[in-house]
Amino acid sequence: MKAVIFLGPTLPIEEAKEILDAVYLPPAQQCDLVNAVVNERPDVIGLVDGVFLQSLSVWHKEILYALDQGIGVYGSSSMGALRAAETSAFGMVGVGKIYEMYASGDLIDDEEVALSHGPAEQHYCKTSEPMVNVRATFQAAHAAGILDEAQLDLITKVAKKFYFAERTFGAIFEAVSCKGLPQDTVEQLSAFVELNYVDLKRQDAIELLQTIERLEIEGSKPRVKFQFKRSTAFETLYNRDRQVRQGNSHLHQEAISNYVAIHNPGFHDLNFNALNRIVVLAFAEMLGLQARKEAVDAEAARYRTRKNLLQEDEFSSWLTASHINLDEFRALMGQVVLCRRMHRWFMIAMWMERTSKVILDELRLKNEYAEWVARAAAQDRLLRTNGAHTRLGGTHLSLNDLLAEHQDWSDATIDVDPEEWAQEAGFHTIGNLKMELLRASEARRALLELLADTTDSEREAVPAVHSPEPIQE
């Protein structure tokens, strides 16, 4: 079982690794759980630490996405306890006392678990104290007889008023001294804190790691059934902000598309065609069209054939390199299915004209029209050579034979049933397609004959070379 743990100042990673063998990542910020699901493909995620203020915090929708993907998500101590209390109804599992206090409503403030700390290079060295630990430590001092009820209430209220980044025991003791707490009590309390500090966050983090470690043995993960809806905001997060791994780099999807925009020489057409596809899909949605499973299966098979991805290991490698999973691939194929349905609808509307104009206009936009007109004219001239055009009606080759021959001689491919392809390509009937393939076949034969005649003529034009007479001595 593969586990991913988001951990920072709550517990040193070296200690965590002694409890649980896992992938340890820094405190989570927005989109990090999505990144972990996509890039690490874990069985379980443990959320302990997360960031806020300086970066956007872990979003609840990310947790639901991980749960929807069948990944167990556990939380404790800090951001994990907060999010577990907020999403437990959907299956996130909270661990530890801090989670229980949030879940019961005894704690409601986010800042109860907040603290200021240094960067990862300094091992997240803390520079302030989280209120949950401060409160637990003072309660322990009360139980030890150092503080009475009134003093505990006073010092707890004083500590709570501090901004989380400025909450230290030194600052608390100084402030409470000004409130009348006896100096000897302050000194006793300071000594108690030094030796008996209650690190509730640490305890809960250890309990979370132990809980996940037991999953390795028990082999079970929690699962609550719910319907995950990919909102517009989530789609933005997933499709733009999500990071993918390429070697040692982690790139945002947006960064990749931006790079393509200014470096790919064919970006204009790429962008134009991509936007056209989205427009067609929007139109299909307006009409209430849906892609049937059978059509998606057929389109997926067609794509894999065209891209030579028939072997499962090759296809799996392609999915990984393309940074999509099988469901996303099928969704993409579903888009193609809907586009083809919209194409067929327009083809029926343009039954007589078909696609002649739109194809030729597209060639004009690509500045390729003149080239293809010249090639079509060259074929026409070949057909008129030696009466090749008169043989068009006398062939006994089948459609499949003509297709096979054409694909052997050209780069063109017909990757679906010929009749379906003929409709897509703008032919009125399958007979029209066969006639065009026959024209191409006869043109090739005429060209070969012409080349053979030229070669024979060149041989005849070369004078014969005779061996010299032997010299008589």
N-to-C CA span, the chain: 98
Same domain, 432 and 385: yes
Residue 138 is part of which domain span? Answer: 122-197
Residue of 445, 337, 428 whose CA lies nearest to 387: 445
Predicted local confidence at residue 289, as pLDDT: 94
Predicted local confidence at residue 450, as pLDDT: 82
308-332 residue pLDDT tens? 999 999 999 999 999 999 999 999 9
DSSP H or E stretch at residue 334: helix 326-349
Residue with tokens 């002649």: 356
329-346 residue pLDDT tens? 999 999 999 999 999 888
Whole-number Cα distances in Å, 189 to 8, 138, 166: 28, 8, 19
Percent pLDDT > 90 in the chain is 68
Which letter does DSSP use for residue 240 in this model?
I
Q: Is residue 461 part of a domain?
A: no
Work out whether strand 249-252 and strand 243-246 pair parallel, antiparallel, or are unpaired: antiparallel
Residue pair 397/321 in contact by the 8 Å Cβ criterion: no
Same domain, 95 and 156: no
Residue pair 59/32 in contact by the 8 Å Cβ criterion: no
Residue with tokens 């299966």: 297
Number of structural domains the chain divides into? 5
For 135-159, the DSSP string reads HHHHHHHHHTTSS-HHHHHHHHHHH
Residue pair 267/258 in contact by the 8 Å Cβ criterion: no
Q: Is the pLDDT of residue 465 over 60?
A: no
Same domain, 16 and 101: yes
Q: Is residue 304 part of a domain?
A: yes
Q: Is the pLDDT of residue 410 over 60?
A: yes
- Residues in the chain, overall count: 473
Residue pair 85/102 in contact by the 8 Å Cβ criterion: yes
Q: Is residue 56 part of a domain?
A: yes
- Distance in angstroms (rounded) separating the CA atoms of residues 91 and 147: 41
Q: Report the CATH number at residue 101.
A: 3.40.50
Least confident of 160-164, 201-205, 241-245, 423-427: 423-427
- Distance in angstroms (rounded) separating the CA atoms of residues 406 and 189: 91
Q: Which residues contact 20 (CB under 8 A, 6 or more apart)?
A: 3, 5, 209, 210, 212, 213
Q: Which of 303, 318, 349 corresponds to the end of one domain?
A: 349
Q: Is the pLDDT of residue 473 over 50?
A: no
Hey, what are 341's tokens?
């349905």
Q: Is the pLDDT of residue 471 over 60?
A: no
Average pLDDT, the chain: 90
Same domain, 207 and 339: no
pTM: 0.81
Mean pLDDT, range 278-296, rounded to an integer: 94
Q: Is residue 356 part of a domain?
A: no
Q: Is the pLDDT of residue 296 over 60?
A: yes
Q: Is residue 191 part of a domain?
A: yes
Position with higher pLDDT, 223 vs 77: 77
Same domain, 20 and 112: yes
Same domain, 88 and 215: yes
Q: Which of 263, 285, 317 corresponds to the end of one domain?
A: 263
Q: Is residue 360 part of a domain?
A: no
Predicted local confidence at residue 352, as pLDDT: 80
- Distance in angstroms (rounded) separating the CA atoms of residues 405 and 398: 11
Same domain, 177 and 315: no
Q: Is residue 58 part of a domain?
A: yes
Predicted local confidence at residue 86, as pLDDT: 96
Q: Is residue 462 part of a domain?
A: no
Same domain, 153 and 182: yes
Same domain, 319 and 434: no
Residue pair 350/312 in contact by the 8 Å Cβ criterion: no
Q: Which of 314, 349, 384 corresponds to the end of one domain?
A: 349
Same domain, 111 and 216: yes
- Distance in angstroms (rounded) separating the CA atoms of residues 451 and 215: 75
Same domain, 329 and 382: no
Same domain, 81 and 213: yes
Residue of 54, 106, 64, 56 whose CA lies nearest to 84: 64
Q: Which residue type sits at 413?
A: T
Where helices occur in 264-388 by DSSP H, the ranges are 267-286, 293-306, 312-321, 326-349, 356-365, 369-383
